[in-house]
Amino acid sequence: MYRVLITDDLSTAGLKILQETPGVEVVNRSGKHTPEQVREFLQDVDGIIIRSATKLTPEILKDQLRLKVIVRAGVGVDNIDLPAATREGIVVMNTPAGNTTSTAEQAMALLLAMARNIGPAAASMKAGKWDRKSFTGTQLAGKTIAVVGLGRIGLTVARRCIAFEMKVLGYDPFLSEERARAEGIELYRDIDDLVGKCDFLTVHTPMTPETEGLINAARIAKMKKGVRLINGARGGIIDEKALFDAIQSGHVAGAALDVFVDEPPKDWGLAQLPQVLATPHLGASTDEAQELVAVEAAEIITGFLVRNEVRHAVNMAPITAAEMIDMQPYLDLGRRLGLFMSQFTKGGVRGVRLQFKGEAASKKTKLISNAFAAGLLSKALADNVNIVNADMLARERGIEIKEELSHEVGDFSTLISATIQTDDGESTAAGTIFGKQFLRLVRVDQFHLDAYLDGCLLLYKHIDKPGVIGFMGNICGKHEINIAHMALGRERNEPGGDAIAVLNLDNEPDDETLAEVSAHQAVTSVQLVKLPKAGEPLPWLVSR
């Protein structure tokens, strides 16, 4: 019998699913508890469903030998210490689908209310005023809206905007052209090409280092005068100070905000501007959303416990210690190849082909493929992309990952090769394992070489002629950059053809150094790739 603990209020629909699932016993202790009490409750249960009130800290999770799974009825997992859960071998899952419709509807409500001045008009009526002239708005039909981020919620918003006869432009680095076309969205890969073409802009990305301040002062300045902005995703994706200044100057006509950097705001200046419609993070605050996340949480935890299903995991699925010891270098190689390709390739990803040769073909290649996908997507998505959810996230963006297996041994006893089709063409990288732990990059496009697959990599393509390598050594010496290793790949075994060099550097070159390298007449391209240090553990490692 699997025991599931409930410590926060859960809708009756979710409780009913748990109670009616054979083999599951519900331990309902919803209410306020001390950390010591929660720790004690967890010692004899297999899983727990929480909302936002219960905090699962490292102290609570440490040595919980029976606990297998935590399910958050909602999207955010800020109240769960993910590294601690992972270290203890506990799978953490959330319910991203349950509040999609409610959050998208909130964005549409903000859009409509802002366009038609609903908030101030309603306040005027409550003040006993009949003032029609002050609240003239703008219609949505015929206008252009930019949707930044085309995941579940972004696509749902886009569909509703199309129903309102709006032209929809979209920005997403991973959604395929075919999927965007099928949805009726004009897709852009460069956000700077998008921002100047819209009357409205709404953001629906996760908060990551790459998306923080994504809509900044420079990009707002490129927008049309009179543009209106909506943020129902995460505070800080739109730079709040830049938005405040642009509204004050008259460049931005208005904004509708459901989220803020600080909640509640420490500085109420932006929220109190008359041109701003502000709500206190109500995106998922509907009866339906709360019931849906409860139902989804119950289905997820029973599926995991009873049928070994893993859905919407935000850390790593548990595998045995023996499997991990065997698979770790292959997972590491797959992830590093994905990280490499995410920085080396240009253009939107359309498809991926992974080839496993030799010993690699006899391993659990699906796990390796997921590790590759996690590396490929990690720069664009939230930090919780991992080998459990990476494949799903790729498929949602129209990226299909195909596997090809060959047990024949070629030049290497094991080889993993990744070929990515992008909007701009095709790129290939291949890696191998020397011994049991040394990872090597052995191919980049048509060039064969032997480079370390760790740390800071400087790649430059060039014409194979005397003096280029010496030039690079002088530049690095001039800027006090130490070259740890250098690998060279040549198109042919004689001078004059194309070549590529991969330098493993002990310290990262600055923009001035890269500019000097690019200025050499024989150098045709320069690319900096940042990978984990050698031996750095996988972020999803589980010890049980």
pLDDT the model gives residue 317:
53
CB 32 within 8 A of CB 75: no
* Domain shared by 301 and 324, yes or no: no
Residue 544 located in a structural domain: no
Q: Work out the average pLDDT over 14-30.
A: 95
Q: Which two tokens stand for residue 455?
A: 């740390």
How many percent of the chain have pLDDT more than 70?
97
Distance between CA atoms of residues 170 and 202, nearest Å: 10
Q: Which of 276, 275, 240, 279 is nearest to 259 (CA)?
A: 279
* Domain shared by 39 and 88, yes or no: yes
Q: Which of 221, 207, 104 is nearest to 155 (CA)?
A: 104
pLDDT the model gives residue 464:
92
- Map residue 300 onto helix, strand or coil: helix
Domain that holds residue 509: 446-531
* Residue 55 in this model has a pLDDT that exceeds 70: yes
Per-residue pLDDT band at 126 (split at 50, 70, 90): very high
Per-residue pLDDT band at 321 (split at 50, 70, 90): very low
* Domain shared by 346 and 425, yes or no: yes
- The pLDDT tens digits of the residues spanning 326-340 come to 888 999 999 999 999
* Domain shared by 293 and 325, yes or no: no
Task: Tell me which residues are annotated as active site.
Answer: 234, 263, 281
pTM equals: 0.65
List, as one string, the DSSP characters of 165-212.
T-EEEEE-SSS-HHHHHHHT-EEES-HHHHGGG-SEEEE-----TTTT
* Domain shared by 124 and 230, yes or no: yes
* Residue 320 in this model has a pLDDT that exceeds 60: no
* Domain shared by 481 and 377, yes or no: no
* Domain shared by 109 and 217, yes or no: yes
Of the ranges 194-198, 245-249, 263-267, 304-308, which one carries the lowest mean pLDDT score?
Answer: 304-308
pLDDT the model gives residue 543:
35
Residue 460 located in a structural domain: yes
Distance between CA atoms of residues 407 and 394, nearest Å: 27
Choosing from 415, 438, 461, the residue where a domain stops is: 438
